[in-house]
Amino acid sequence: MPRERATPAATGKPLSAPQKALQKLGLVRDIDLALHLPLRYEDETRIVKLADAREGDSVQIEGEVTACEVAYRPRRQLLVTVNDGSDSCVLRFFNFYPSQQKALAVGARIRARGELRGGFLGWTMMHPHTRVAGGELPTALTPVYPTVAGLPQPYLRKAVIGGLRHAELADTLPPEVAATLQLKPLWTLKQALEFLHHPTPDVSLAQLEDHSHPAWQRLKAEELLAQQLSQLQARREREHLRAPQLHARGAGSLHERLLAALPFQLTGAQRRVCEEIAQDLTQAKPMHRLLQGDVGSGKTVVAALSAAICIDAGWQCALMAPTEILAEQHFRKLITWLEPLGVRVAWLTGSQKKKERSAMLELIARGAAGLVVGTHAVIQEQVQFKNLALAIIDEQHRFGVAQRLALRSKTNGEDLEPHMLMMTATPIPRTLAMSYYADLDVSTIDELPPGRSPIVTKVVSEQRRAEVIERIRGQLEQGRQVYWVCPLIEESEALDLTNATETHAELSAALPGVMVGLLHSRMPVAEKKAVMERFVSGQMGVLVSTTVIEVGVDVPNATLMVIEHAERFGLSQLHQLRGRVGRGAAASACVLLYSTGDAPRLGEVARARLKAMAETNDGFEIARRDLELRGPGEFLGARQSGAALLRFADLATDSHLLAWARAAAPVMLDRHPAQAERHVARWLGSRTDYLKA
């Protein structure tokens, strides 16, 4: 049986540049190399005559060099003419070395592979791959691998072949599990890998490129199974951890008094998720729940009611938000609701003065503060809780694994874990929840509070900017307020985008007598706070901002949102920004201003995003389309700590394989635990750490 080789790093020897590059790609073990699959393939198995070729074909030709010169038209380039007996082709190189010029001297017989272009002067190839003619042609397609600087394809190919030869590739799927995988033919892992690294030229390139070939299907199924196994293991491991049991509810409790004091009735969805959370808090094992709800669905009040149960039971609760604006928004609401009921709410951010911070730290340490609200400052080393039992993390995808683990470590040292409630206003598509969030319990607020007005979304060309400013004037005359969001703060050479500072000046000039504010992430915290206070109080008519107002800002009187260069934003981000309006009873609108620049048409993906925004206000539908357009990155954020656990499977097309993996994982863990462990180690290595958070 092949054995894993010691890596150069493990032997203590200094690494060469290509070895360092391999490490940068995460190719440390033989199995890592074996699972490093080609991006595409080149067909060097046959020679094509120029007379038989068509323009646009990628072909390999063989012939004699009849001319080789360095020309200057208009820039320095090497021009090599090759005749294959049926026609001639000019090979054009803008970057070349003297050794390359020597190898392509007149009279040399060479093979050249590249894309054929036709023209007035005949066939040309730009920067083709060349080699000396002769020797047998390969029998398999030549793989082209993903790489980084300092790692040439020949070195990488050789390393992959070595990894494939030495890696332990015995099947980890027990026969009873493999039999449920509906793939015909059912390739073994070894067969699939050997084929995908060196496919025969008769195979359908389309099947290889769209990953629908049975060999690809086998790999994707194994990868999804590894992910499901690791999620299930994490969930089961947490079953053995201990957490405080929080029962304090009933007549006269803080929870009931808060419910009675709220100036609105909970929606049915809010009541349902409150019950799910309350039930979790009574358990002796830590809650690990994700609360998802669309923009404006009322997650903060659910957090407050959950905190009330915790505080009533004599324990502390922490609420952490990613930005100071969002944290302060929560703080204001929670103080309004809880302080009249006798709850002390502490405030912690990085911008606090030392005296205020010290006072807050003292309140937290002796347990006088039942609820602590803040940014990442909540998890800094000097923050000591007396008895933390519930940690609430808002916009959880913006926090890294280390930050969430640090919050979990803030208990009172009695081997108890705090309950964890993670909140997101980015609804998670079902396939994503089944995959990356399988270790969590998910609660969903799927209805908006009554009285919210629907938001009309219009997609408008930048050329109609003057009309949009007129629309703003109309809203201001009705006593309403307006947001204008820009993607950049300063001029960028790479992206010719109008910046927030310029737009602020433009709108100030166009709207005399109106207070137009400017808000961006580089402003001092005190200045940001003052701008927001003026807008929230209604003194300011227009707020020009970067995306710092994406979440958490709640101004019911704001009824118009203009998003400049909307084509540059992600779909989820556009939906979040739109959610800043429509928070009151007045009719609200969102204008997506797009720039065509020199091109008359938008890009296909940008067009699809703007179309989706115009067609629906449903966050779950937006999330589904975003997953189709851009993959899972936006939803996962830092949850993976930078390691994309799914390299091959595609949640948009492989839901049938995901369903198989979900069913197979408990069978593997219960009946074949050793094989399950080997399977996870093979596919994930050390990348399962993120599941602890």
What is the three-state SS of 378-428? HHCCCCCCCCEEEEEEECHHHCCHHHHHHHHCCCCCCCCCCEEEEEECCCC
pTM, two decimals, is 0.71
Quote the pLDDT of residue 369. Answer: 92
Nearest to 388 by CA among 423, 358, 413: 413
**Average pLDDT of 623-629?**
75
pLDDT band at 501 (very low <50, low <70, confident <90, very high): confident
Q: Which two tokens stand for residue 507?
A: 């709108």
Confidence at 641, pLDDT banded by 50, 70, 90: very low
Backbone phi and psi for residue 594, each to the nearest 5 degrees, phi listed first: -115, 150
Q: Tell me if the bond preceding 185 is cis, omega within 30° of 0.
A: yes
- Band of residue 494 on the pLDDT scale cut at 50, 70, 90: very low
Are 282 and 223 in contact by the 8 Å Cβ rule? The answer is: no
Q: Write the pLDDT tens digit of every residue in 332-381.
A: 888 999 999 999 999 888 778 889 889 999 998 898 999 999 887 777 77
- Give the residue from 409, 419, 449 showing the smallest Cα distance to 290: 419
3-state secondary structure of 659: helix
pLDDT of residue 632: 61
The answer to whether the 46-132 and 254-445 domains have the same CATH topology is no
Mean pLDDT of the chain: 84
CA distance 654 to 195: 21
Select 455-616's CATH number: 3.40.640.10, 3.30.540.10, 3.40.50.300, 3.40.47.10.
3.40.50.300
DSSP three-state, residue 151 = coil
What are the two backbone dihedrals, phi and then psi, of residue 326, each rounded to the nearest 5 degrees?
Answer: -70, -40
Average pLDDT over residues 447-473: 86
Whether residue 670 has pLDDT greater than 90? yes
Cβ(249)–Cβ(312) under 8 Å?
A: yes
Per-residue pLDDT averaged across 551-576, rounded?
82
What pLDDT is recorded for position 644?
47
Q: Which two tokens stand for residue 568?
A: 């540059």
Question: How long, in residues, is the chain?
Answer: 693
Domain spanning 254-445: which CATH class is it, in words?
Answer: alpha beta
Q: Give the domain ranges of the chain.
A: 8-41+141-210, 46-132, 254-445, 455-616
For residue 222, is pLDDT > 80?
Answer: yes
Q: 3-class DSSP state for residue 664?
A: helix
The CATH architecture that domain 46-132 belongs to is Beta Barrel (2.40)
Does 66 score more than 90 pLDDT? yes
In this structure, of 3-7, 110-114, 289-293, the range with the lowest mean pLDDT score is 3-7
User: Residue 520: what pLDDT?
Assistant: 81
Q: Which two tokens stand for residue 244?
A: 């405080």
